[in-house]
């Protein structure tokens, strides 16, 4: 997905599609989990959820994710880009409630379907199905809610540090 710089500067949520190249598999994701440093794994057994911190630093990160990070670094050239990988296990997996983040987020659905609500979009009041390859740019401060329907893997790329996008996004 190419970022629409006008939407970013206007702080408008933007939906799109990601080209994976080779379709990610559960085996790929489990291998990534199994080799992730244990100090960078946060497990919430009550919510049946695991998230992998600092996934952007892993040499074994898939090419499509590295490409997203490269594109984001070109646009958000004054900021660091991070990646948290969320893995939800089973139909009882849970996520964060309606919330907003302190950073711009680029959310990519990798495996499984979730329902998604995003403030100030067509999906604010009626959650949409968010399937593998679906992505959305969510400006900091925009409320959103990921509602897992089954096991899932979601990548959350973040633009670190609070800076007004108008001061650092190249046009």
Q: Yes or no: say if 10 and 120 are a contact pair by the CB < 8 Å rule.
A: no
Question: So where are the chain's domains?
Answer: 5-161
CA gap 78, 62 in Å, rounded: 24
Architecture in CATH of 5-161: Sandwich (2.60)
CA gap 23, 122 in Å, rounded: 28
Residues 64-86 as b/e (b if ≥16 CB within 10 A, e otherwise) read bbeebbebbeebbeebebbbbbb
Alpha-carbon distances, residue 65 vs 40, 51, 84 (angstroms): 18, 16, 11
**Global pTM value:** 0.88
Q: What is the pLDDT of residue 43?
A: 82
Tens-digit pLDDT string for the chain (171 aa): 666 666 666 677 889 999 998 899 999 998 888 888 888 888 878 777 787 888 888 888 999 999 999 988 888 888 889 998 998 888 888 788 899 998 889 999 999 999 999 999 999 999 999 999 999 999 889 999 999 999 999 999 998 876 555 555 555
């Amino acid at each position: 997905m190419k970022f629409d710089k006008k939407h970013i500067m206007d702080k408008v949520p933007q939906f799109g599609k990601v080209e994976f190249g080779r379709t990610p598999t559960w085996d790929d994701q489990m291998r990534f989990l199994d080799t992730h440093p244990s100090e960078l794994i946060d497990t919430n057994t009550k919510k049946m959820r695991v998230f992998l911190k600092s996934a952007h630093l892993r040499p074994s990160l898939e090419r499509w994710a590295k490409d997203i990070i490269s594109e984001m670094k070109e646009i958000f050239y004054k900021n660091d880009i991070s990646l948290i990988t969320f893995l939800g296990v089973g139909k009882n997996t849970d996520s964060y409630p309606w919330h907003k983040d302190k950073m711009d987020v680029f959310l990519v659905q990798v495996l499984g379907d979730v329902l998604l609500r995003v403030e100030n979009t067509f999906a604010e009041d009626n959650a949409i199905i968010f399937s593998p390859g679906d992505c959305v740019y969510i400006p900091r401060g925009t409320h959103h809610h990921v509602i897992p329907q089954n096991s899932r893997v979601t990548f959350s790329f973040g633009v670190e540090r609070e800076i007004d996008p108008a001061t650092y996004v190249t046009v």
